[in-house]
Chain A
Amino acid sequence: MPNRMKPKLLLLCIVAWLCWSCNDQCKETRVVRRFSNVTYSLMELRTQVKAEAPRTLEQPGKMYVKGKYLYVNEIKKGIHIIDNGNPASPKFITFINIPGNGDIAVRDNILYADSYSDLVSIDITDPTAPKEVGRVKNVFQTGTFDGGSWALNETIGAISDQNVEWVEETVAVNCEDNISPTSWWGGWLFADRAFLSSASSASPQSSGSTSGQGGSMARFALDRNFLYAVGQSRMHLFKIDKPSQPVDFKTIDLGWGIETIFPYDNKLFIGSSSGMFIYDNIDPAEPKQLSMFRHGRACDPVVVHEGVAYVTLRTGTACGGAQNQLDLVDVSNPSAPQLIKSYQMENPHGLSVDFPTLFLCEGEHGLKVFDVSERFSVDKNLLAHFKDMHAYDVISLGKTLLLIGEDGFYQYDSSNPKDLRLLGKIPVGKAI
């Protein structure tokens, strides 16, 4: 070998030696939910309910509609009052700051809202200047928002709350997928807001044209002279003979995992994580349990139309569960509900029925519209599937459809259910 080649071979060895110390660099970036504990004084919280200048939607929760006004909950913060006289261009009128708010119900000119442990009644005769007129203190003991839970500590007059924030973290990983052993947790995610925002709160109404209408995910319901509010394990009855001054009337224990309430035809249909309760409500002061329709563990909003209850179950929530389905249940004999048929769905959330049309929110999979007149072949009568949106809850008002999702609030002309026409959208984080 010529001498001049030797240094080159040495170079080759150096290259090899340098490379031998090569390390793979793999960085995994995650957006993780972080909890931080905070304590709020009730004394202070109770001074904070007040009208503020309108603001943009940031984290919309439940919605409620009465007349031309829309009430959209900003999770844990308060309520947007929106003038929807012209659905093409809704106008934000006021924001009511209500700490710890998750649910809404409106009767006449009084709005009921939960504020952590309290039920607050607010006079909205002048929607530009709502004011607190009544409060029932310390009725709700615990609740959760977005996965963080709060609890009332009556002895010191405080709320122990968990703030939830999303933080980005980056860690060095071993360049492999490392699917197990944590992958089964994967299906757990995606804050089901109905469950996670389970303060203790009011829902759709069945009687009286003076009340508004809530979505199927609501926890507040108005029926005659009572406001029903379901918490995680109980139902609270508030007497509202004098609307501005609700009175804590009664508490009924229901068992764990209560999610939604839907009053219909003198009955209360209560969705829980273990099944659907049917309460007889002929005497609104004395709801009596008629039956319970059990299914696997899952969250399940319920709507009812003429003897048929439409129940959705879904996975991917804090409620656990392994099914994504729509159940049609025969409730013509409310003491003995019978399954009509189950249909597989993707990730069903809220729903609304405008017989024979059923609107079903599929979360990130959008909105499905079914014709349910043929109850054994609902799946064959899919009228439309709108995929380009996130749909959480829906309210059908006949010709208009209100829909709320993580990315905003939508209104559709639904006079032809096969061809929904978008009237207007209020996107999250954008001023109008």
Chain B
Amino acid sequence: MKKIAYLWLLLAATAANAQTANSPRFVNHTEFGGLFGRVKYSNPYTGNQEQVDSKTSLTIQTFNGVQLNRRLSAGVTLGMDWYKAALLNLVAGGVRYDLVGRKNVQLFGTVDAGYAFAWFHDDSEGFDTKGGLMVNPGLGIKAGKPGSAAFTLALTYKRQEAHVTKVPLWDQKERFEDRVYNRLALRLGISF
């Protein structure tokens, strides 16, 4: 899984290198927002009745890359997601593509894919949280004059995997959890 993240980094780096000859334009897109979702689970305290809880998490990320042509830019996305029981740091390759729009309002597509690490996550005793693959495609609106800073609003779907090794309970000898966070990410940001 990590390999894919490295591959993306490599790809982004190569893309960046390819442009150095034509003095490429550097692009930064920094966003923060929320990850909204739900979880349906059987609650052991209410006789295993199925229950639905809402989930909201904070997310920040920054995309740094180069403008490859008038519409497309590619680079590396670094970010941090505060899930309720996991703090994950993502390292991903990303692209931004201007789809359509007037001069100062653009609809753009965004895709980030990579791996999230639990470097800064502090586990409870006996627990061990590991990150996993992440993919985050979506659409956004960019408002601002071309060539200068712009505000962005992006709506994306984020899928994040994680694995947690847990302390077995009294009648167990092994316990672990495979998580897939499926979230709607709503982010505000600036891009220049």
Q: Which of A1, A8, A18, A24 has the most CB of B within 10 A?
A: A24
Q: Given A12-B107, A28-B177, are A22 and B157 also a contact pair (CB < 8 Å)?
A: yes
Say whether A28 contacts B166, CB under 8 Å.
yes
Q: Does B173 contact A (CB under 8 A)?
A: yes
- Given A12-B155, A19-B184, A175-B55: A27 and B170 interface contact (C-beta under 8 Å): no
A298 vs B136: C-alpha distance when bound (angstroms):
53
Residues of A within 8 A of B105 (CB): 1
B20 to chain A, nearest CB (A): 33
Given A5-B107, A189-B170, verify A22-B177 contact (CB < 8 Å). no
Selecting from A166-174, A217-225, A264-272, A346-354, the interface stretch reads A166-174
Q: Are A177 and B181 in contact (CB under 8 A)?
A: no
Q: With A176-B84, A177-B127 in contact, do A24 and B107 touch (Cβ < 8 Å)?
A: no
- Does A182 touch B at the CB level, under 8 Å? yes
Which residue from A5, A12, A24, A186 sits with its C-beta under 8 Å from B169? Answer: A186
B169 and A185 contacting across the interface, CB-CB below 8 Å: yes
Interface centre among B51, B127, B173, B177 (most CB of A within 10 A): B177
Q: How far is the CB of A19 from chain B (nearest CB, A)?
A: 3
Tell me which residues across on chain A come within 8 A of B166, comparing CB atoms: 28, 177
Decide if B155 touches A16 in the complex (CB within 8 Å): yes
Q: How large is the interface on A (under 10, 10 to 19, 20 to 34, 35 or more residues)?
A: 35 or more
Cβ distance A9 to chain B, nearest Cβ, rounded Å: 7
Shortest CB distance A59–B (Å): 13
Residues of B within 8 A of A156 (CB): none
For chain A, residues 1 to 45, give those with C-beta under 8 angstroms from any C-beta of chain B: 1-2, 4-5, 8-9, 11-12, 15-16, 18-33
Among residues of A, the one whose C-beta sits closest to the C-beta of B167 is A186
Q: A11: nearest residue on chain B (CB-CB)?
A: B139
Knowing A16-B184, A26-B178 touch, does A177 contact B164 (C-beta < 8 A)?
Answer: yes
Q: Are A175 and B181 in contact (CB under 8 A)?
A: yes
A25–B174 CB distance below 8 A: no
B1 within 8 A of A: no
Contact A175 B157 (CB under 8 A): no
Within 8 A of B (CB), among A373-404: none
- The answer, yes or no, to whether A183 is at the interface (CB within 8 Å) is yes
B173 touches A189 (CB 8 A): yes
Task: Report how far A139 CA is from B55 CA in the complex, Å.
Answer: 60
Report the minimal beta-carbon distance from B95 to chain A, rounded to whole angstroms. 17
Cβ of A28: which chain B residues have Cβ within 8 Å of it? 166, 175-177
Which of B9-17, B72-80, B96-104 is the contact stretch?
B96-104
CB distance from B49 to the nearest CB of A (A): 12
A interface residues (Cβ-Cβ under 8 A, vs B): 1-2, 4-5, 8-9, 11-12, 15-16, 18-33, 147, 166, 171-177, 179, 182-183, 185-186, 188-190
Using a CB–CB distance below 8 Å, which chain B residues touch chain A? 36-43, 51, 53, 55, 83-85, 99-102, 105, 107, 124, 126-127, 138-139, 141, 155-157, 164, 166-186
What are 5 A-B pairs with beta-carbon distances under 8 A?
A23-B182, A26-B41, A27-B177, A30-B172, A172-B40
5 smallest CB-CB distances across A and B, nearest first, come from: A19-B184, A185-B170, A31-B174, A188-B170, A22-B182
